[in-house]
Amino acid sequence: MVGIELKGAFRGETRRSLRSGFGVYQYSNPFFRYEGTWHEGKKHGFGKLIFADGSYYQGEFANNEIMGQGTRYFASSRNTYTGHFYYGEMDGHGRLKMGNDDCYEGDFKSNHFEGDGSYLSYDKQLYTGTWHNHCRHGYGEQTYFDGSRYSGDWIANKRHGFGKLTDSQDGFIIYEGSWKNDLMHGEGTYNLGESYTYRNGMMVNNYPTEWPFRLCINENQTSTLMLTEEPIIITVDIVDSSDNNTRVEADCGRLIRLRCGQQTDQPTSDSLPTPFGFHVNLIPRSTKSTPSDNQLVSASNEEMNISERNQPIQDSMLTVTDNGRAQFVGINIDTFTMRLASASAAASLQSTSARGNRRKADKQTMPSFVFIIDDITDPIPFNKLLDAIKLLRKKKILMAFCRNSFSIRKTKPRKVVSRSPLKLPAEELSRELGPQYQTIDVRVGNQKLAYDIAQGDWLADGIVSTAVSAREMGKLEKKKRELEEDNNVLRTKLDILLEMLAEVTAEHELRRTG
């Protein structure tokens, strides 16, 4: 039966004085209006609820409630939801397209994201995984605007638990390990670029524990270096910030550079300022080296695969850390052109003296050589390069660098007669020692020797008893060892004095010839 208009609020079909069928109802509150099907006076079936601000719901109704599949448009936010409703709330599976072009598709519970779902933001960041109370919670995968991707655990919209962050280009792992409050925290492996790796180390708030790290000369190597013709290895460790200088074995693939420089008190535009309070003139690498040097350096570079870094090596040596340690292999006195640099410095001193500045030249000394070791890893791990360190070259013998510039003359022996009383004639011996002179005799082992004044020589004078106890023999052996040790110490002191004498003589020769 066709219904009639009731109180001007409803226009549509009725049955037994109840709205039934299709009809339009204007609520007493003019903000709401319903157009759709009715059943026994209740909104039931398919209909559209229109709001005065432009919002609306269009879809299924059941017993006067929004229930089932439908579309809800919110005019204030311009959000549009299409999916399942339960008592007027978004509940079940649906798709929410937001006014800022973000979009979520998945499970809802009481108007919140709950369960499995995917969220695509306007800047193409995509999350696919589980949700709880409108937050990423549980396991999920997030793709960021730069193409990187995180796969792992989430708690309350933050990466928390175990997860893996991969790069967008070739999919290599940037970090794999523990996370806390959206930061790398706990044990994990961090990779950067093509070679750097912080492997199976402990992280705290996106940084390794005991950060920042430091470069440190290996404890088995002195802070000064003696170079010879034989190749040596310079070992540098990556240590933590503790006082124990503990080597960080997790730090691998850091690119370390070694350069040699000559300290200068008169820097030029080409001089290199250092963080140590002085300038240096860099010394280029030598074009010639020993076969063993070439073999060692080549093997080292091949093993560490640094030839593809395209770094300038005219004045540098490069190496890569492994287990927190870097080694420069095959360094000797000819690795850098230190001989030529020393000769140039010597010529400069001679030129200064020749110009009449003898007093100034006397005050000048041969410049010191220093090795500068720094971190040039690119890209920079943890946004900070390690501070540079220095390694001094110990002065050995200056002649080793300047032997082609001059030669030390040999001193002629002095014509002086020895006054030793053991080699004087008898008359002169009596005159020297006086009338109370007695015969000199000595004992060597069990042999007695006496000095014959007339012949001027030592003669055998019989056998002496050698009855020596074991205790006395032990004392003699101990005394012998002590004398040998004293002799070794004296030899070392003599070598040092000879080196000092050679250096002083060389400087004196430079001033004299200048």
Among 367-371, 406-410, 450-454, top mean pLDDT goes to: 367-371
Q: Residue 202 forms beta bridges with which residues? A: 187
Of the candidates 218, 273, 274, the one whose C-alpha atom is nearest the C-alpha of residue 387 is: 274
What's the pLDDT at 295?
42
Please say if the pLDDT value at position 241 is more than 90: no
What's the pLDDT at 410?
52
Domains of the chain: 1-101 (2.20.110.10), 123-211 (2.20.110), 214-402 (2.60.40.10), 406-455+498-514 (no CATH)
Give me the mean pLDDT over the 229-246 stretch. Answer: 87
What are 181-189's contacts with CB under 8 Å, separation 24+? 182/158, 183/159
CA distance 190 to 199: 6
Output the average pLDDT for the chain: 80
Give me the mean pLDDT over the 205-216 stretch. Answer: 92
**pLDDT digits 0-9 by tens, 161-199:** 999 999 887 778 999 999 999 999 999 999 988 889 999
Residue 494: φ, ψ to 5°: -65, -40
Rg (CA), the chain: 47
**pLDDT digits 0-9 by tens, 244-290:** 889 999 999 999 999 998 888 888 888 999 999 999 988 888 765 44
Between 408 and 94, the more confident residue is 94
Q: Do residues 513 and 507 touch, judged by C-beta distance below 8 A?
A: no
Which H or E run includes 431?
Answer: helix 426-433
Of the candidates 24, 13, 78, the one whose C-alpha atom is nearest the C-alpha of residue 47 is: 24
The whole-angstrom distance between residue 435's C-alpha and the CA centroid of its chain comes to 84
Of the candidates 26, 62, 68, the one whose C-alpha atom is nearest the C-alpha of residue 42 is: 62
What's the pLDDT at 237?
93
Q: Do residues 108 and 114 touch, judged by C-beta distance below 8 A?
A: yes
Q: Do residues 106 and 113 touch, judged by C-beta distance below 8 A?
A: yes
What's the pLDDT at 162?
97
Q: In residues, how long is the chain?
A: 514
Of the candidates 120, 115, 172, the one whose C-alpha atom is nearest the C-alpha of residue 142 is: 120
What's the pLDDT at 157?
95
Please say if the pLDDT value at position 76 is more than 90: yes
Please say if the pLDDT value at position 96 is more than 60: yes
**pLDDT digits 0-9 by tens, 23-56:** 999 998 889 999 999 999 899 999 999 999 999 9
Which H or E run includes 234?
Answer: strand 232-239
**pLDDT digits 0-9 by tens, 374-402:** 999 999 999 999 999 998 876 543 333 33
> Cis bond leading into 212, ω under 30°?
yes
Q: Do residues 221 and 233 touch, judged by C-beta distance below 8 A?
A: no
Record the tokens describing residue 453, joined without a space: 């004044």
Q: Do residues 133 and 150 touch, judged by C-beta distance below 8 A?
A: no
CA distance 421 to 448: 20
Between 203 and 463, the more confident residue is 203
CA distance 263 to 316: 17
pLDDT band at 309 (very low <50, low <70, confident <90, very high): very low
What's the pLDDT at 17?
85
Which residues are CB-contacts of 462 (< 8 A; sequence separation ≥ 6)? 448
CA distance 142 to 164: 10
Residue 57: φ, ψ to 5°: -125, 135
What's the pLDDT at 168?
81
CA distance 505 to 478: 40
- Written as one string, the DSSP assignment of 336-395 is BTHHHHHHHHHHHHHHHHHTT-HHHHHH--PPPEEEEEEE--SSPGGG-PPPPEEEEEPP
Please say if the pLDDT value at position 106 is more than 90: yes
Of the candidates 109, 149, 107, the one whose C-alpha atom is nearest the C-alpha of residue 130 is: 107
CA distance 480 to 354: 56
Which H or E run includes 92?
Answer: strand 89-97
Q: Do residues 97 and 110 touch, judged by C-beta distance below 8 A?
A: no
Which residues are CB-contacts of 164 (< 8 A; sequence separation ≥ 6)? 150, 151, 152, 173, 175, 176
Instruction: Look at the block and give the residue holding tokens 């004639």.
Output: 425
What's the pLDDT at 297?
43
